[in-house]
Amino acid sequence: MTELPEVLPATGTASLAWLLFALPAFGALVLLIAGRRANRWGHLLGVATVAGAFVVGLLIFFDTLALDPDQRTRELSLFQWFAVGGLNVDFGLRIDPLSLTFVLLITGVGALIHLYSVGYMASDPGRRRFFGQLNLFVTAMLLLVLGNNFVMLYLGWEGVGLASYLLIGWYQDRPSAATAAKKAFLMNRIGDVGLAIAIFLLWTNLGTLQYTQVFARVGELSGGVLLAIGLLLLLGACGKSGQFPLQAWLPDAMEGPTPVSALIHAATMVTAGVYLIARTHAIYDLSVQGRLIVAIIGTITLLIGAVIGCAYDDIKKVLAYSTVSQIGYMFLAVGLGPAGYALGIFHLLTHGFFKAGLFLGAGSVMHAMHDEVDMRRFGGLARYLPVTFVTFGLGYLALIGFPFLSGYYSKDRIIEAAFAQEGWQGWVFGGLATLAAGLTAFYMTRLVLMTFFGERRWKQLQTADGQDYHPHESPAVMTIPMIVLALGSIGAGAVLSAVGLVDWLAPSVGELVEPEGVGAVPHAAVPWLVVAISALGVLIAWLTVGRHRVPVERPAHVSLPVRAARRDLYANAINETLIARPGIWLTRALVYFDNRGVDGLVNGLAAGLGGSSGRLRRLQTGFVRSYALSMLGGSVLVIGALLAVVLT
Amino acid sequence: MIYVAQVEQVSAPPIDWGAMAPLLVVLGAACVAVLVEAFLPRHQRWPVQVGLSIAALGLAGLTLGLYTGSEPAGMTTIGGALTVDQPTLFLWGTLLALGLGSVLLIADRSVEPGGAFVASAASRAAAGGPGDLTYAPTDPDRSYGSPDQAPTMQTEVFPFTLFALGGMMTFVAANDLLTMFIALEVLSLPLYLMCGLARRRRLLSQEAAVKYFLLGAFASAFFLYGLALIYGFAGSVRLTDIAIASAGSARSDTLLFAGFALLVVGLLFKGSVGPFHTWTPDVYQGAPTPVTAFMGACTKVAAFGAILRVLHVAFGLTRWEWRGVLWAVAIVSMVIGAVLGLTQTDIKRMVAYSSIAHAGFLLIGAMAITPQGVSATLFYLLAYGFTTLAVFAVISLVRTADGEATHLSQWAGLGKRSPLTAGTMAFLLLALAGIPLTSGFTAKFAVFAAGIADGMAPLVVIALVASAVAAFFYLRVIVLMYFSEPAADGPTVTVPGAFTTAAITLGVLLTLLLGIVPSLALDWASGGGFVG
């Protein structure tokens, strides 16, 4: 078990940490309450609050960096939130390397995407409300990562769920958006129940929900409880991060505006599951089975995502499945335990940069093409969208792990660590992760080829409302964030690797245990192997897509695997058969029971009361003589009863 | 020759004027109001009476506030006839506030042109037909002055109200049974008259007044008989002396408990507790609605104030003997109120049955001979009084050409036509049903908690079932207002004048406030116990 760091009270610059979430919260409040009056400047306020939070985050980051590593874990207790019985919940923040890393990612990428949205949402009448909800999301996400207890975590967890629901359903006039929002909400709910029960279990067994106390005392828990908590936390993480078996909502969530997809459903919120497992590593450290299940879930998901990504033609859905797959890598990493927590966070950061950049690029393409998402209608766009093409291309290279770009550093180290596991685990995890790397190279190359190269298929086509396509580069307010993120795609991996992100995270997630000895595949051979497999994927993509004419209509007669992948590997069908149908049957049975059993009883009772009321009513004759008689009768009874009581 | 009898020197008992001031102000203003009736010309009376009544209530409230502010210890005054202790002060405050609300309703002339009161109490239903439902074409209002003059109303109702209120205040402070009896009559007689003053439906109103008078006289006789028996037992009518006598004496218990039973019957009648409730629906329906509001709120407070004092001060020690019987009475009252309320079709009768059920709940609190029981019952009275006042005020707003639309079917679809009125009514009905965030909930909670703490758990269970049943008829009105299509020739909702608006606002605000921060009044109510 890793040593727990000493927790010190936050002073100096760090005591400003409340500003981190207070600034966007203020923005959200103003934007959502001020109404139309704020329409003209609302979006600027939205950008400014998040940028301000980023500056505060930077200040605190440098302040923390100046401290010794064992003094970098600090707490800022703001006020007592509530106290019920023995449950005392602080509204407190935990400022440590892990939370600061997330703060910088959320506010940094968040500020860029806010800026991008100024351009992207320029013609949307609800732009101010959009920024309000985006600010709400940033607030909730910061509370999630900054809280120093599980209740704060849960508050943020539900907050981001709400913001995500609102923003997926942004285009309210589209039934598909409403359905997607509902689906996301419901599937997240399943995970949230797991998280809630895990928190209840911690409370009943330990009597506290503060991180410091919980992590110090997890050793007191019995093995079974520990495993249960680990699995329930994992269920919560799977819901939020779109992991198997709850992955089906994430691709549908692309119905939201593209900046939302970039910020919430690629860079930040969907990585909350990884955060949760890294944050509670003290629990997983003690539970080998729990960790193994995390790794298995991660491996299954990274494979599913990569396979389905190969079959879709919707540019955003391909990117979404790519996200599912990449988060699978992160889960695999944190599932490897002390050998992988820091690597998972590392990949999370680099992925945050290049995936957000890719989504913004996709948004820029859609912006140019009348919100068209079908890649079969694109083609040869590189000449028309040079900035988009270059930034997107860099993100693409980073994602497939092109040597010395971001993804190369983070993904390869995860695969290395996976291969270094003992026994069958090394072979299975490492092998499948490598295979998925090849698939990733394939589907991303296919995406780039179909979008930016080849024949300009849109020339012969018209938009839904009968106009010609006129692709054009996006305005500077959109391209600048793309350029910044592209720089991150190039350099983040190398820089973070060079400055020692892994050591920086050590106080929060423990020292990284380097793989010892020889695992399944020699240590030094792994990078070569991964690069080779990825190159193979690129080559196959070029051979099958690049050299052929891409049909505008999607071919109907395709092989079985492609058909399965197009139908999300039947995830929706499985969910419907296993969950939805039995649920409907159960409700029907309950309704039947309710109608016949419960209602029968209730209605019978009501009829009885009504009947007796009708009969009793006749006693109220309206004659004063009978009233007097009833009073007399009552008095005689009262007197008689009293005397009977007293005299016996 | 002058024969000088030996005159015993009667020394006047010391009077604490500060403590008595609220009572004296109200009774004094009542006497002045009688003079106003006698000497002012008719057209000047209304403004003077309204101003006088409101000023008197305000001044009484002010003196009460000043006296309470000096943090008095409870004490008896005027030779032990009255007790001014913490419950008295609380009840006085409640009565004055509710009285003010009632006066506002009574004074309103915008809802019903000329006010809800007949111009001449002697006028019967006019020659419009045999029914008492139609608005008479030859309006008796117009027999005074020229026809184009605004219709006038009987301004005697203001001194009646003040006298009744003075009687109620004496009733709850009375420290001996004789004072209590006199106060009972002082509060009852004006009420009998006020019931017969409705401008419309004259026969129904006069019938109600006669019924109330006859039955009230009957109940007063019970009270008096009980008083006599108890005097025979204890040799005194002072409540404390009765308690001392009952604690240890060889005298006949039969005398004591027969007296107690008769006395309590008289009191329960005033509180409209079943089975002595029979007058309630008829009188509530027949009386002019502002008077119904006054009776529903203030009479209930006065009756239960007196019941509390009698049970706690005089009969606290013998509670194990009488409690079983009052259990039965409470159950009967709750069952009658809840079950009979289900089939009522007139909204005023429905609220009457609701008040019978509430009387049963109140009796639970009054039976708990603990400080908690006292404070819970006092709080319940305050909460219930304001809700009832506002309910009747809202009822008076929904009208057809023939007057108030009290038949339930006429309330259908009101939520669509006048959402504010319907929303207010719905809120008040929820308060009567005891839904959280209203004073009805906190009051019920306090009373039931006191009951359980004093060992009456089975009774509380029955009370909960009864309130669940009663919730049905409150909710039925809400369903009717919101989920039914409005009738084509349905009633109109009158825009209330300033007076009625003020009364409704007062009632609704307090209902909400006491539901959210009950500690405001609960702390005051539990400030101290009875002194006797």
Q: What is the pLDDT of residues B251-262, one digit of tens each?
A: 788 889 999 999
- Taking 90 as the threshold, does the pLDDT of residue A16 lie above it? no
Portion 102-161 of B in contact with A at CB < 8 A: none
Give the separation between CA A338 and CA A342, rounded to whole angstroms. Answer: 8
- Taking 60 as the threshold, does the pLDDT of residue B97 lie above it? yes
Residues of chain A in Cβ contact (below 8 Å) with chain B: 606, 609-610, 612-614, 616-617, 620, 622, 624, 626-628, 630-631, 633-635, 638-639, 641-643, 645-647
Q: Which residues contact B293 (CB under 8 A, 6 or more apart)?
A: B101, B102, B105, B388, B389, B391, B392, B393
Contact B218 A628 (CB under 8 A): yes
When pLDDT is cut at 50, 70 and 90, the band that residue B510 belongs to is very high
Closest by Cβ to B215, choosing from A624, A638, A643 = A624
Cis peptide before B275 (omega within 30 of 0): yes
Contact A448, A379 (CB under 8 A): no
- Taking 90 as the threshold, does the pLDDT of residue B325 lie above it? yes
**Mean of per-residue pLDDT scores for chain B:** 88
Distance from the Cα of residue A73 to its chain's centroid: 25
- Taking 80 as the threshold, does the pLDDT of residue B84 lie above it? yes
Q: Read off the pLDDT of each residue in A531-559 and give the average, rounded to a whole number.
A: 83
What is the reported pLDDT for A527?
Answer: 85
* Å between A238 CA and nearest CA of chain B: 38
Nearest chain B Cα to A646, which residue?
Answer: B321
* Å between B312 CA and nearest CA of chain A: 18
Q: What are phi and psi of A463, to 5 degrees?
A: -70, 175
For chain A, say whether B279 makes contact (Cβ under 8 Å). Answer: yes
Contact A646 B343 (CB under 8 A): no
Query: For chain B, give me the number of helices (H) and strands (E)?
Result: 20, 5
For residue B174, the cross-strand partners are B82
Q: Which residues contact A16 (CB under 8 A, 6 or more apart)?
A: A56, A59, A60
* Å between B68 CA and nearest CA of chain A: 36
* Å between B74 CA and nearest CA of chain A: 32
Q: Read off the pLDDT of each residue in A44-61 and give the average, rounded to a whole number.
A: 92
The token duo for A425 is: 């685990």
- Taking 50 as the threshold, does the pLDDT of residue B147 lie above it? no
When pLDDT is cut at 50, 70 and 90, the band that residue B141 belongs to is very low
Contact A67, A4 (CB under 8 A): no
What is the reported pLDDT for B137?
Answer: 42
**Mean of per-residue pLDDT scores for chain A:** 87
Contact B265 A631 (CB under 8 A): yes
Contact A129, A144 (CB under 8 A): no
Q: By C-alpha distance, which of A324, A311, A209 is closest to A273?
A: A324
What is the reported pLDDT for B488?
Answer: 76
Closest by Cβ to A609, choosing from B219, B325, B339 = B339
The token duo for A180 is: 């997607």
Q: Read off the pLDDT of each residue in A184-192 and give the average, rounded to a whole number.
A: 90
Q: What is the pLDDT of residues B460-473, one digit of tens each?
A: 999 999 999 999 99
Chain A residues closer than 8 Å to B342 by CB: 609-610, 613
- Taking 60 as the threshold, does the pLDDT of residue A529 lie above it? yes
Give the separation between CA A503 and CA A512, rounded to whole angstroms. Answer: 8
Candidate ranges A108-122, A534-548, B438-452; pick with highest mean pLDDT = B438-452
* Å between A598 CA and nearest CA of chain B: 17
- Taking 50 as the threshold, does the pLDDT of residue A247 lie above it? yes
What is the reported pLDDT for A440?
Answer: 92
Nearest chain A Cα to B468, which residue?
Answer: A606
More confident residue, B232 or B112: B232
Contact A624 B214 (CB under 8 A): yes
E strands along B35-113, which residues?
75-77, 82-84
For chain A, say whether B261 makes contact (Cβ under 8 Å). Answer: yes
Chain A residues closer than 8 Å to B219 by CB: 631
What is the reported pLDDT for B122?
Answer: 67
Give the separation between CA B426 and CA B482, rounded to whole angstroms. Answer: 9
Chain B residues closer than 8 Å to A621 by CB: none
What is the reported pLDDT for B525?
Answer: 86
When pLDDT is cut at 50, 70 and 90, the band that residue A84 belongs to is confident
Contact B325 A645 (CB under 8 A): yes
Q: What is the pLDDT of residues A203-225, one digit of tens each?
A: 999 888 888 888 888 888 888 89
* Å between A277 CA and nearest CA of chain B: 41
* Å between A605 CA and nearest CA of chain B: 10
Contact B275 A634 (CB under 8 A): yes
Query: Residue B396 corresponds to which amino acid?
Result: S
Nearest chain A Cα to B330, which residue?
Answer: A638
Chain B residues closer than 8 Å to A642 by CB: 257-258, 260-261, 321-322, 325
Nearest chain A Cα to B266, which residue?
Answer: A635
Contact B340 A647 (CB under 8 A): no
Closest by Cβ to A641, choosing from B279, B328, B472 = B328
Q: What is the pLDDT of residues B31-61, one digit of tens each?
A: 999 999 999 998 889 999 999 999 999 999 9
Residue A3, by phi and psi: left (phi above 0), alpha (psi -120 to 50) or beta?
beta
Contact B324 A645 (CB under 8 A): yes
* Å between B469 CA and nearest CA of chain A: 9
For chain A, say whether B317 makes contact (Cβ under 8 Å). Answer: no
Instruction: State what percent of residues in chain B have pLDDT above 90.
Output: 66
Q: What is the pLDDT of residues B489-508, one digit of tens each?
A: 778 888 888 999 999 999 99
For chain A, say whether B469 makes contact (Cβ under 8 Å). Answer: yes
For chain A, say whether B468 makes contact (Cβ under 8 Å). Answer: no
Contact B211 A624 (CB under 8 A): yes
* Å between B371 CA and nearest CA of chain A: 25
When pLDDT is cut at 50, 70 and 90, the band that residue B3 belongs to is low
Nearest chain A Cα to B335, which residue?
Answer: A613
Contact A620 B340 (CB under 8 A): yes
- Taking 70 as the threshold, does the pLDDT of residue B8 lie above it? no
Q: By C-alpha distance, which of A381, A344, A330, A310 is closest to A563?
A: A310
- Taking 90 as the threshold, does the pLDDT of residue B271 lie above it? yes
- Taking 90 as the threshold, does the pLDDT of residue B449 lie above it? yes
- Taking 90 as the threshold, does the pLDDT of residue B111 lie above it? no
Nearest chain B Cα to A639, which residue?
Answer: B261
The token duo for B323 is: 């409690």
What is the reported pLDDT for B512?
Answer: 93
Contact A163, A133 (CB under 8 A): yes
When pLDDT is cut at 50, 70 and 90, the band that residue B149 belongs to is very low
Query: Residue B445 corresponds to which amino acid?
Result: F
Neighbours of B13 (CB within 10 A): 10
Contact A631 B210 (CB under 8 A): no
Instruction: State what percent of residues in chain A have pLDDT above 70.
Output: 98
Residue B108 Cα distances to A44, B148, B402, B503, B505, angstroms: 55, 20, 18, 10, 14
- Best mutation site among B257, B284, B318, B467 for testing chain A: the one with the most A CBs within 10 Å? B257
Contact B261 A645 (CB under 8 A): no
Nearest chain A Cα to B327, which residue?
Answer: A638
Chain B residues closer than 8 Å to A616 by CB: 336, 339-340
Contact A347, A267 (CB under 8 A): no
- Taking 70 as the threshold, does the pLDDT of residue B126 lie above it? no
Contact A631 B215 (CB under 8 A): yes
Contact A433, A414 (CB under 8 A): yes
Instruction: State what percent of residues in chain B have pLDDT above 70.
Output: 92
Chain A residues closer than 8 Å to B276 by CB: 631, 634-635
* Å between B482 CA and nearest CA of chain A: 22
- Taking 60 as the threshold, does the pLDDT of residue A82 lie above it? yes
- Taking 80 as the threshold, does the pLDDT of residue A550 lie above it? no
Instruction: State what percent of residues in chain A have pLDDT above 90.
Output: 29
What is the reported pLDDT for A134?
Answer: 92
What is the reported pLDDT for A195?
Answer: 93
Q: What are phi and psi of A514, to 5 degrees?
A: -70, 140
What is the reported pLDDT for A267?
Answer: 84
Chain B residues closer than 8 Å to A609 by CB: 339, 342, 469
Chain B residues closer than 8 Å to A623 by CB: none
- Taking 50 as the threshold, does the pLDDT of residue A1 lie above it? no
What is this model's ipTM? 0.87
What is the reported pLDDT for B4?
Answer: 56
What is the reported pLDDT for B140?
Answer: 44
Closest by Cβ to B325, choosing from A614, A631, A638 = A638
- Taking 60 as the threshold, does the pLDDT of residue A62 lie above it? yes
Q: What is the pLDDT of residues B353-408, one digit of tens each?
A: 999 999 999 999 999 999 999 999 999 999 999 999 999 999 999 988 888 888 88
Q: Which residues contact B420 (CB under 8 A, 6 or more apart)?
A: none
Q: Read off the pLDDT of each residue in A241-257 and give the average, rounded to a whole number.
A: 87
What is the reported pLDDT for B144?
Answer: 38
Q: What is the pLDDT of residues A408-460, one digit of tens each?
A: 888 888 888 888 888 888 888 988 999 999 999 999 999 998 888 888 888 88
What is the reported pLDDT for B148?
Answer: 43
Q: What are phi and psi of A84, to 5 degrees?
A: -125, 115
Chain A residues closer than 8 Å to B223 by CB: none
What is the reported pLDDT for B292?
Answer: 95
When pLDDT is cut at 50, 70 and 90, the band that residue B186 belongs to is very high
When pLDDT is cut at 50, 70 and 90, the band that residue A519 belongs to is low
